[in-house]
Chain A
Amino acid sequence: MTAPVPSPMASASPNPAGVRITSLEERISGTGTGSSPLATQEYFVNMGPQHPSTHGVLRLVLRLDGETVREVVPVLGYIHRGIEKIGENGTYRQFVHLVDRMDYLSALANNWAVTMVIEKAANMETNERIQAIRTIVTELQRLHSHQLWWGVFGMDLGAFTPFFYGFRDHEILTDIFEKTIGARLTMNYIQPGGVMYDIHPDFVKDVKEFLAYFKPKLREYDALVTENVIIQQRLRGVGVLSAERAVAMGCTGPMLRASGVAHDLRKSEPYGLYGRVEFDVPVGTTGDCWDRYWVRMEEMRQSVRIVEQLIDNIPEGKHFLVKPAAKIKVPAGIHYSHLETARGILGVLLVSNGKDQPYRIHCRTPNFNNLWSITEMATGGRVADLVAILSSIDIVVPDIDR
């Protein structure tokens, strides 16, 4: 081992207590001999920031001993945009339109999470029609997100066909969203006091047609990937995360449920109309990549079930109750609210000083907390398994970097 390199920050910032600050250079310097009796040498390899299976600009520094991963050091921040700082300089309404750039596959859930904390803090009214529309579009987007995950997951494991199948069905939903919302990816729709536009006259018909089309397609997904022996062999027993470790590592969403913890905010703190629909929360048993795969496949079926129960019963009413021009004032204090996106719990912490701009706004994002578990899951496994594990976390990098 070489001597640790002193961090330049140690002298540049006030640190009267002498707390030790490390640096990346120090963290990944020096290579030792591996634990193998054949005196192998360990070495560091960069995976990313430009790597197809990191789904964006994520860099993982791997300490390898041959094919075996000894350590994973994630390096973040390549697309950090300081959303929380921008939020402090805008109004409450403006912040809603920033968060769809975080987890762009859960844009509507992100809109809703911010809307929820503002509505709760400022005591704003909504009606049943608004809640029904919000629940349906957010649930459709969970499906939308899982379809894309399924396609990309297949591709990461070396099967190209699922990517086309996933995208084929993903596009139909994208078209439905575009008709009502006007955007195909970074959708801005849910806002404090309502939704931005009423649903398109064709919305109900389109969604029902889609559900009738998509239900048999799920069987096709199973025949193509789920029942594939190669896929099963590559996922079973890989990247195991026990329930206790998943909780300790801060995992939420399908990651946590795959480890056997039935924690779903749609059940435990029902928001929107989730309290009125019937659905099951699928949980895994071992917490390996296969369980994470299976939980998401099952969640697609449950999302279909939820939308089916709601789509015929959208109540009449206005689609917004508070005019967009109205200034929002939030009483001073700490407000927090959270919901379940396709990837886990998105919480928004809002600190108000009584003015019309947030004093501080912070997002507890699911991807940021889920990714940390890779340092544990991948250690001791093979490089090829690391790709499967990373894909089974289903990360969206802008949500990590914010």
Chain B
Amino acid sequence: MQDSPPPGEDQAGEVGFAQALLAAAQAIEPATVLRDKSDRITLQVPAAAIAKICQWLRDDPALRFDLLYDHTAIDWPAENRFELVYLLAAVLDPQPRTRDLQVMVTTSVPRDNPVIDTVCGIWPIAEWQEREVYDMFGILYTNHPDLRRLFLEDDWEGFPLRKDYEDDFMLERPT
């Protein structure tokens, strides 16, 4: 028994929804693809299009992704990129739905110039979430109203969740 068993008809509906969503996203940004190796519908977009795609996902009357559940980053040093993950949900929609609508959006920025547009203007909670990602990964958000460290002190050096981060307090695991 699985924790959240997807019923058969829902799965078929999900594939149809993914294809329709992809087609609509490609009308806005032609380079959009579906990210493989993800357990849910995931749009992979170029970094330059993130604000445009997010604005559409929130404002399209058929979608209305009004809640930014989560925003975080993944460091892929071998490919010289940070992958940024946005997880969206639609909760305010007054239309009754058969299932909760959720979608993931990912994009990549180069490790040596990790700059991307903020989505604060679309979902205010992003102001706080983006500060955490800046603090831990050093992603620089343009047009962010108050970009500074969230957990660490302002004069901390380096970004701890990067794979190549080192500091004097780190301990080697005994072998």
Residues of A within 8 A of B (CB): 7-9, 12-17, 19-25, 27, 76-77, 80, 82, 84-85, 89, 116, 119-121, 125-128, 131, 243-244, 247-250, 252, 256, 261, 263, 268-272, 332-338, 345, 347, 349, 351, 359-360, 362, 364, 368-369, 372, 401
Contact = CB atoms under 8 A, between A and B. Distances in A.
Contacts, number: 158
A120 B5 CA distance: 10
| Residue of B75, B85, B112, B154 contacting most chain A CB atoms (<10 Å) | B154
A269 B5 CA distance: 9
A22 B4 contact: no
A360 B69 contact: no
Given A80-B151, A82-B160, A364-B70, A125 B92 contact: no
A250 B67 contact: yes
Top 10 closest pairs, chain A to chain B, by CB: A250-B125, A333-B37, A77-B151, A364-B70, A19-B140, A23-B154, A17-B115, A268-B100, A334-B38, A22-B148
A401 B42 CA distance: 28
Nearest to A332: B37
Contacts of B129: 250, 369
B92 A19 contact: no
B150 interface: yes
Interface string B140-175: 111010111111111111111100000000000100
Prevailing SS type, chain B contact patch? loop
A248 B125 contact: yes
B74 A247 contact: no
B56 interface: no
A364 B123 CA distance: 16
A270 B120 CA distance: 31
A116 B5 CA distance: 12
B16 interface: no
Contact of A261 (B39, B74, B91, B153): B91
A305 to B, nearest CB: 22
B125 A335 contact: no
Contacts of A85: 160-161
A309 B18 CA distance: 38
A244 B150 contact: no
B128 A13 contact: no
Contact of A84 (B37, B146, B161): B161
B75 A360 contact: yes
Interface in B48-85: 66-70, 72, 74-75, 85
A21 B3 contact: no
A335 B151 CA distance: 26
B80 to A, nearest CB: 14
Contacts of B149: 9
Interface residues of B, number: 60
B147 A345 contact: no
Nearest to A128: B1
Contacts of A261: 91-92
A347 B91 contact: no
Contact of A126 (B1, B40, B146, B154): B1
A27 B146 contact: yes
A112 to B, nearest CB: 9
Interface in B78-125: 85, 87, 91-92, 99-100, 104, 106, 112-113, 115, 123-125
Contacts of B148: 7, 9, 21-24, 27
Nearest to B125: A250
| Residue of A127, A128, A263 contacting most chain B CB atoms (<10 Å) | A263
B154 A13 contact: no
B2 interface: yes
A333 B38 contact: yes
A336 B87 contact: yes
Contacts of A19: 115, 140-142, 144, 147
Nearest to A124: B2
Nearest to A335: B39
A250 B91 contact: no
Given A84-B161, A347-B70, A369-B125, A120 B3 contact: yes
7 contacts: A22-B146, A119-B3, A269-B4, A269-B100, A338-B69, A347-B70, A368-B132
Contacts of B128: 250, 368-369, 372
A270 B4 contact: yes
